Structure 1
Amino acid sequence: MYLLKIKKIIFLVAAMTATFSATTFAQQNVGLPTIELKAGIYRIQAELADTPKAREVGLMNRTSMPTNSGMLFIFEQKAGHCFWMNNTRIPLSIAFIADDGKIINIEEMQAETTNNHCPKAAVRYALEMNKQWFSERVIVPGTVIQGLPKR
């Protein structure tokens, strides 16, 4: 009987933790629209950072991000838009993407650093995912990201 009670308590704590984590992530994302993108066979739920304020804040101060979620940065003009990780608590990978959807280059970024990570060509799009998300799926420069909004 005692063992059964312990198992119930462990189950309840695990369920509450999972609910809290999902709720916390959802609360961090309030107000940003999302879009579904595809990289090969992989589907990505990407928040849109398409305003100056959303791009400035990006993924700062978040403590986690679901596996196939990310943030798509959209700029009005193609340029050498560089990124850094100041106040960003989770390590990320960033893919710089041309207008035709092809990945130009991918950079790995450490949390809480101020190193610049820049595209190798002028771009309008950048997609941030959890660190090594691209390499673990063998998504490399030249891969096409489908579903980008047209500007």
Structure 2
Amino acid sequence: MLLKKTTTPLALTLVLGLAFTCASAAAQQNEPQMNLPRTELHAGMYRISAQLASAPREREIGLMYRRQMPEHEGMLFAFEAPGVQCFWMKNTLLPLTAAFVADDGTIVNLADMQPQTEDSHCSAKPVRFVLEMNQGWFAKKGLKSGTRLTGAPFADKSH
């Protein structure tokens, strides 16, 4: 930003404040999303507290930059319409398993994903939902393709 020599102290203070705000926002771009809305899901007797990423930018950031995540927590990505959904792990520090989930909550397929890679992991058929959990969570619970998750996002909306 170019300042004229006649800039007043107040104007200079405002410019410096704006520059600091922009720098702070840039620094925060490498921080995890921790304040997304949550939804409770169930996989049989297991409860999942999932952050809900439904806006394009929320889905784009996902679980990037998270250094840890409690065992019963995850992130549910909700898309506007079913499609073949593909995920990668750029800037994601935790090993994760993605469950590609049909509208009725049935797990279509699972994919283990390694941190900080750009390998693409896709749904076996069009889905609207993807649930990411710590890698191994589904296997430890004996959950696999065909298992049905329950919760508000999967409720029958035809009534």
Q: What's the TM-score bracket when you normalise by the shorter of the two chains?
A: 0.7 to 0.9
The correspondence for 2:98, drawn from 94, 100, 103, is: 94
The 8 Å contact of residues 33 and 62 in structure 2, kept in 1 or not, is answered as no
Aligned with 1:38 (options 21, 36, 42): 42
Alignment partner of 1:134 out of 134, 138, 145: 138
Moved over 2 A (4+): 27-31
Q: Which has the larger radius of gyration?
A: 2
CA distance in 1 between partners of 2:123 and 2:34 (Å) = 29
Asked if the contact 2:74/2:131 (under 8 Å) is kept, the reply is yes
Q: Are 1:53 and 2:70 matched, yes or no? A: no
SS of 1:94's equivalent in the other structure is strand
TM-score (norm 1): 0.79
* Unmatched tracts of structure 1, length 5 or more: 1-26
- Please give the alpha-carbon distance, in whole angstroms, between the structure 2 residues aligned to 1:32 and 1:135: 26
Structure 1 residue identity aligned to 2:43: A
CA RMSD of aligned residues (A): 1.4
How many angstroms apart in 1 are the aligned matches of 2:145 and 2:109?
Answer: 5
> Which ranges of structure 2 fall in alignment gaps of 5 or more residues?
1-30
* Superposed counterparts of 1:2-17, under 5 Å: none
Partner in structure 2 of residue 9 of structure 1: none
- Which letter does structure 1 place at the counterpart of 2:69? M
> Contact conserved, 1:101 with 1:148, CA < 8 A, in 2?
no
Distance in 2 of aligned mates of 1:95 and 1:148: 17
Aligned equivalents of 2:50 and 2:112: distance in 1?
18
Partner Cα distance (1:136, 1:60) in 2: 24
The offset of 1:120, in angstroms, is 0.2
Percent of matched pairs sharing the same residue: 48
Q: How far has the Cα of 1:77 moved from its partner?
A: 1.0
Q: Report the TM-score when normalising by structure 2.
A: 0.75
Q: Which of 144, 149, 159 lines up with 1:145 in the alignment?
A: 149
User: Once the 2 structures are TM-superposed, how far is the Cα of residue 100 of structure 1 from its aligned partner?
Assistant: 1.0
d(CA) in 2 for partners of 1:31 and 1:64? 15
Q: Which amino acid aligns with 1:68?
A: H
Partner of 2:112: 108
Encode CA deviations 1:24-46: one digit per residue, 9 max, x unaligned. Answer: xxx94443000100001100000
